[in-house]
Amino acid sequence: MASIDRADWHYGNDFPENLPEENGGTHIGMYLNWVIDTELIGEFHLAESKDGIEKVKSGEITGRDFLFDYCDRKFWNEDLNEVGIQFTEHYYETNKYFKDYVKILVLESESIYQVEDNRKNYELIKQRLDKRFKKWNTKKYKRFWKFWK
């Protein structure tokens, strides 16, 4: 079991003192929200966290709430199914997600930790995630002799 990201990894350095620790997990939570919406969530959660998954899908809680309430503030490989792991290795762990997150949600005067954990912001990053996943999925299944497409 490998750790992908953890809210507590973000509490030092440039984390603003005036913000709650939960803000260190907003970017992780938005990704987890998308993982749930896209049905890339791992078997562990399908068995143990059904109520949390339903709450995220209904909008009752955010992905960040799910991270804190069902994942102990940590994002692990076990939180994903096999396709989710592969995509996350390609996109999240190579910092492409983080760059998209900053580009889409962080205003010039803000820190990444000041992004509001709300549905509007989630929908903005979800559009990019959907696009990246579709592109990755398409490339993943290309035949080597169709390299020009």
- Which residues have C-beta within 8 Å of that of residue 26, sequence separation ≥ 6? 64, 113, 115, 116, 117
| pLDDT tens digit at each of 149 positions of the chain | 578 999 888 887 778 888 889 999 999 999 999 999 999 999 999 999 999 999 999 999 999 999 999 999 999 999 999 999 999 999 999 999 999 999 999 987 688 999 999 999 999 999 999 999 999 998 865 555 555 54
* Separation CA 71–CA 2 (nearest Å): 13
Please count the other Cβ atoms lying within 10 Å of the Cβ belonging to residue 40: 20
* Separation CA 128–CA 121 (nearest Å): 11
Domain segments of the chain: what residues?
A: 3-129
* Separation CA 60–CA 76 (nearest Å): 23
Q: Are the C-beta atoms of residues 79 and 63 closer than 8 Å to each other?
A: no
* Separation CA 139–CA 22 (nearest Å): 35
Query: DSSP class of residue 62?
Result: -
pTM, entire model: 0.90
